[in-house]
Amino acid sequence: MKIPFNKPAVLGSEIKYIRQTVRSLKISGDGEFTKECSKLIETKFAVNKVLLTTSCTHALEMAALLLDIKRGDEVIVPSYTFSSTVNAFLLRGAKPVFCDIRGDTLNIDEKNIRDKITKRTKAIVPVHYAGVGCEMDYIKDIAEENNLKVVEDAAQAVNAKYNGRYLGTIGDLGAYSFHETKNYACGEGGALLINDDRYVERAEIIREKGTDRSRFYRGEVDKYTWVDIGSSYLPSEILSAFLLAQLENKDKIQNMRGAVFSHYMKSLKKYQKNGLLRLPVIPKQCRTNYHMFYVLLPNEKFRDTLLRELNSQGIHAVIHYLPLHSSPMGLKLGYHTGDFPISEEVSQRIIRLPLYAGLKDEDFEYIIETIGEKLEALE
């Protein structure tokens, strides 16, 4: 038996929309499907403006440009995240100021942020790990007190909520991912969410290679020209066509993933009571999108043994981030192993299990049975 870690859900009109796009011969960016995707997110999630991008990485890069991040500036980020969170700001010359994570949600420890702020700090970048929201009210209060901007890295959190608001819509700017591994996918893709209207016009220019072409298409100028720095951040219409079908089925996909997630929680609860693993924690103010299901094992040796056993049985389980502060690049930036102990400990103990819409019941039972056998043997 071979059970993949991830499998994109194709439930609706993906192929139909792609055919429509190809037949129209209009496959470059910002066509009708791109506009429909943006409109859907703006309407459903109550966002001022949404601009689709070629990746969440590029959405974060646009955010760094919009905030006018410069050499010597500082940006507070969790160490337990993907490199894109940091690279977007590092490319502008900023210094990443790492922060440890909470032991429960694995999100940035908001209580540690205030001590990281200096006169050079320009932004806080919370990462909503596994589709569970950071403590955004607390983080926003800190930002307002210190005149800082908040950029939500909501790559894993599309359609998830914190205190009734969609993640990505709470900070000044937000970034989504539509990578193949995410809940809603188009292979490679992302979106920049703009929650402050002051950034809209410049965001359009940056996204269009530094030109005011968007204004030209709306008839606001009679020709377009180069007016600012920028790059090419537009996804093709083929990707947007696939994505629109995904977004139209977002709640159905989420409910299917939620059923698998709930089944994991129920089936593995007894092993948490025995101290053999720890299940995900979802605070009451958060509504997850069931992006991933992970467990924390007692120690690294225990984790690695179980991981090998699962994969030898055809179950593609994986670890996750290696903390950025102790990576080769982090060491070059002056950080050291041991600086953020919770991030390091979680990295050594975590296993992510297969979770996708349409995971078959017999596959799920095989996963649970295999985990149970190995845990009991290792006990």
DSSP 1: -
pLDDT per residue rounded down to tens, the chain (379 residues): 799 999 999 998 999 999 999 999 889 989 999 999 999 999 999 999 999 999 999 999 999 999 999 999 999 999 999 999 999 999 999 999 999 999 999 999 999 999 999 999 999 999 999 999 999 999 999 999 999 999 999 999 999 999 999 999 999 999 999 999 999 999 999 999 999 999 999 999 999 999 998 888 888 888 889 999 999 999 999 999 999 999 999 999 999 999 999 999 999 999 999 999 999 999 999 999 999 999 999 999 999 999 999 999 999 999 999 999 999 999 999 999 999 999 999 999 999 999 999 999 999 999 999 999 989 887 6
Burial-class residue 330 by CB neighbours within 10 Å (0-12, 13-18, 19+). Answer: buried
Residue 377: the pLDDT is: 83
Contact 366, 315 (CB under 8 A): yes
In the chain, where does the domain assigned CATH 3.40.640.10 lie?
A: 14-248
Distance CA 97, CA 205 (A): 29
CB-based contact 77:314 (threshold 8 Å) = no
Are 139 and 128 in contact by the 8 Å Cβ rule? The answer is: no
- pLDDT on residue 376: 86
CATH 3.90.1150.10 range(s) for the chain read 250-378
> With respect to CATH, is domain 14-248 assigned 3.40.640.10?
yes
CB of 370 closer than 8 Å to CB of 313: yes
**DSSP conformation class of 293:** E
24-49 pLDDT, tens digit per residue, is: 988 998 999 999 999 999 999 999 99
For residues 323 and 82, the answer to whether their CB atoms sit within 8 Å is: no
Q: Which CATH class is domain 250-378?
A: alpha beta
Which uninterrupted H or E stretch holds 205? helix 200-207
Structure tokens at 220: 């606001």
Query: Is 342 in a helix, a strand, or coil?
Result: helix
